[in-house]
Amino acid sequence: MRNLVGIALIATSAALVGTAALSQTGDHAVERDLKIMDQWLAGKQPGPPVSCIPQRQIRSTYYVGGKTILYKISNNLVYRNDPPGGCPGLNSNLALETRTPTGMLCSGEIAQVKDYSQGYSPGACALGEFVPYRTVK
């Protein structure tokens, strides 16, 4: 019998972005993304990268300029992923779809960029290593 592969959708954090993202483009969107990344990583120090993170622990996700993906685990822990070559087409209005049979999100996995409102996929990327950012005590 064939094993079924679960599909996980990693949606953007609407609470942080709201509807403002829909009307912003270009430099304003990049500035907004960088500001939110600074907020998510404020007071945290990077640690050694890891290959995988448990997908069920991800509380929210934010995409920064098609180059960086932030995964919030808790207020004290955020993982930063910088896919090699970026993630073409990814922005805060879209989602990433991954197929993870183990429940772990791992470097090297292919993530498909999805626009569910329009019904198409503008690109895909391979995930890089996950750098943990932890609150400094």
Locate the domains of the chain by residue range.
7-135
- Residue type (1 letter), 40: W
- Count Cβ neighbours within 10 Å for each residue of 67-96 and write b for 16 or more, e otherwise: ebbbbbbeeebbbbbbbeeebebbbbebbb
Average pLDDT, the chain: 81
Write down the pLDDT at residue 28: 81
Task: Give the tens place of pLDDT for each residue, 23-37.
Answer: 344 578 778 888 989
**Which H or E run includes 39?**
helix 26-41
Write down the pLDDT at residue 34: 87
Give the pLDDT band (50/70/90) at residue 13: very low
pLDDT higher than 80, residue 54: yes
Average pLDDT over residues 10-22: 35
Give the residues across from 61 on adjacent strands. Answer: 12, 71
